[in-house]
Amino acid sequence: MSQINRIKGGLVNQKKSISFTFNGQILTGFEGDTLASALLANNKKLVGRSFKYHRPRGIVTAGSEEPNAIMEIGNGAYKEPNTKATITELYNGLEANSQNHRGPLGFDLMAITDFLSPLLGAGFYYKTFMWPKAFWEKFYEPAIRNAAGLGTLSTEADPDTYDKGFRYCDILIIGAGATGLSAAITAASSGAKVILADEDFLMGGRLNTESIKINGVSGSKWAKDTVAALSAMENVTLMSDTTIFGVYDHGIYGAIENRASEAREYKDKPRQVNWRIYAKRSILCAGAIERSIAFGNNDRPGVMLASAVRAYANRFAVATGDKVSVYTNNDDGWNTARDLVLNNIQVVAVIDSRSISPVLRVPGAEIFMGTDVEDTSGRRALKSIKLTNGKSIVTDCLAVSGGWNPNLHLTCHHRGIPKWSEKIASFIPDESNPPGMSVAGRAKGTMVLSDAIIEGHNEGSSVASDLGYNVKELDPAETQTVSYSVTANWGVPSGKNRAWVDLQNDVTAKDIKLANQEGFKPVE
């Protein structure tokens, strides 16, 4: 199958083709693709089934927050289940298979559970299987366990090798987006020993997915140049494809570095390394993740996060639809509409739940202000949406932006408690961060890029100075100021239709309301 959704541009190398398989079908992508972007390029919209009701599921995000595109990679002893396609770097010979379905992906026999959903509400197994008592261990529990789970483990011994290691630094910077790079180049220029870690195989964060310019060049070019400058410094260690997973006492941080590409080429090399990093100080620049909006049937393949639609167009040169609609409650959603038009992708409508003037001009698109999406149609792929004003729009991709949530979880590892920000309608870190940790950029709730870059620069300078280093007088990178405002929109009344909150586990807004009524109020 040809890559019918591939467009010009992007950061992938369209001169180097890569062959892979999905459910046994041979497909092609390009160097720099993720498995998810390559699947979308090949028009693979249905990629899995949900956990409980086995509903059709498509790709939603472009990062580690992906709830749907979770697959089995490899076969035999090399098979690894529950791998997110959105963060899996494409390579020659990759074998991917969808999971959690009985029979073909397009005709899952277990989808019958969706028709039984009225009987399978939140916590149904604690309320329904009460009698006869002896049936629980003999019948009910085995049946539930047999239906549970997503992928299947290989029964063969793992042939890969794994390693552990120790690293030491003055400053650990977590996240290599605009803020992290700004902090790193400033701190490193003082002579401080810096480790810069990022979970992506390509450093730059959202700069690789935006059309914005920094210091007169594209954000991705500025990121590439900054990474190159850092790489040339002897006092800097760059750790891409590395996830910082824990903050412990005495400035110790846990990290997992993925070295799968090296392990495939050299069989004696470790596939993953578990690092213990000792840092005198750390700066959390982990950015933020976009949230969706709950409305009727918002789980169909083709309903995606707006930032992901933008990322696939700008970074991966993939059109996620032929007729795209954008639904937002904040200014950033409009940037997706703008970038799609710049990439010659048709935007048929922009729906903003706020009763304000349009944020941007979007050629060729109908604009609906003070309006919401209340329902969608389609089974294995999105076909149309219905608005609260009664209008129906034919569309095959709906880009949804409900605002942004700072990635602050590492600030809570020493009992830090987030505080609420009405300004961005989200939780942000308070001052109870782990000892030695400071926060900058979107992770702190600073949503305007120009401000986040300055904040990273100032934090890098301040931390290096605190450690006794002489910081050089560097000017922070300059970029245009892009506004960000948001009006909270947690959901649209859906009537008899189900509004999904957790797409992976099939949790609806109604389920959460029921759990709250039954006393399960704390989010823990």
Q: How far apart are the C-alpha atoms of 275 and 93, rounded to whole Å? A: 29
Residues 26 and 132 grouped into a single domain: yes
38-86 pLDDT, tens digit each: 999 999 999 999 988 889 999 999 999 999 999 999 999 999 999 999 9
Residues 380 and 503 grouped into a single domain: yes
Mean pLDDT of 462-489: 89
Q: pLDDT class for 132, splitting at 50, 70, 90?
A: confident
pLDDT value for 100: 86
DSSP state of 433: P
Q: How far apart are the C-alpha atoms of 351 and 366, rounded to whole Å? A: 8
Q: How far apart are the C-alpha atoms of 21 and 24, rounded to whole Å? A: 5
Residue 477 lies in a domain: no
Q: How far apart are the C-alpha atoms of 269 and 273, rounded to whole Å? A: 10
Q: Residue 213 is encoded by which pair of tokens?
A: 């310019």
pLDDT surpasses 60 at 95: yes
Q: pLDDT class for 345, splitting at 50, 70, 90?
A: very high
Q: Residue 324 is encoded by which pair of tokens?
A: 């795209």
Residues 279 and 190 grouped into a single domain: yes
pLDDT surpasses 70 at 126: no
Residues 373 and 493 grouped into a single domain: yes
Residue 307 lies in a domain: yes
Residues 85 and 170 grouped into a single domain: no
pLDDT surpasses 80 at 127: no
User: C-alpha angle with apex 300: 299 to 301, nearest 5 degrees?
Assistant: 120
Q: Residue 196 is encoded by which pair of tokens?
A: 């810069």
pLDDT value for 209: 97
Q: pLDDT class for 107, splitting at 50, 70, 90?
A: confident
- The CATH number that applies at residue 188 is 3.50.50.60
Q: pLDDT class for 291, splitting at 50, 70, 90?
A: very high
SS3 label, residue 13:
strand
Mean pLDDT of 464-478: 88
Residues 364 and 491 grouped into a single domain: yes
Residue 8 lies in a domain: no
Mean pLDDT of 242-250: 97
Residues 422 and 350 grouped into a single domain: no
Q: Is the pTM of this model over 0.75?
A: yes
pLDDT value for 108: 74
- The CATH number that applies at residue 117 is 3.10.20.440
pLDDT surpasses 90 at 117: no
Burial classification of residue 507, based on how many CB atoms lie within 10 Å of its CB (0-12 exposed, 13-18 middle, 19 or more buried): middle
Average pLDDT over all residues of the chain: 92
6-41 pLDDT, tens digit each: 999 999 999 999 999 999 999 999 999 999 999 999
Residue 177 lies in a domain: yes
Percent of the chain with pLDDT over 90: 77
CB-facing half-sphere around the CA of 192: CA atoms within 13 A = 33
Residue 3 lies in a domain: no
Minimal CA–CA distance to 187: which of 231, 242, 230?
230
DSSP state of 479: B
pLDDT value for 120: 67
pLDDT value for 257: 97
372-398 pLDDT, tens digit each: 999 999 989 999 999 999 999 999 999
pLDDT surpasses 90 at 176: yes
Q: How far apart are the C-alpha atoms of 348 and 367, rounded to whole Å? A: 9
Q: How many domains does the chain have?
A: 3
Residues 269 and 300 grouped into a single domain: no
Residue 481 lies in a domain: no
Q: Which residue matches tokens 């930032």?
A: 307
pLDDT surpasses 70 at 524: no
pLDDT value for 7: 97
Alpha helices in 332-477 (DSSP H): 332-342, 449-466
Residues 233 and 322 grouped into a single domain: no
Residue 44 lies in a domain: yes
pLDDT value for 389: 95
Domain extent, residue 436, equals 162-289+405-466
DSSP state of 250: G
Please give the single-letter amino acid code of residue 127.
K
Residues 99 and 132 grouped into a single domain: yes
Q: pLDDT class for 119, splitting at 50, 70, 90?
A: low
Residue 4 lies in a domain: no
479-506 pLDDT, tens digit each: 877 889 999 999 999 888 999 999 998 8
Best mean pLDDT range from 136-140, 438-442, 493-497: 438-442
pLDDT surpasses 80 at 296: yes
Of 173-182, 404-413, 501-510, the range with the lowest mean pLDDT is 501-510
Distances (CA, A) of 89 to 31, 116, 260, 316: 9, 38, 9, 12
Give, rounded to a whole angstrom, the gap between the first and last alpha carbons of the chain.
Answer: 45
pLDDT value for 309: 98
* Pair 35, 82: CB distance under 8 Å: no
Residues 280 and 294 grouped into a single domain: no
* Pair 210, 308: CB distance under 8 Å: no
pLDDT value for 321: 97
Residues 142 and 85 grouped into a single domain: yes
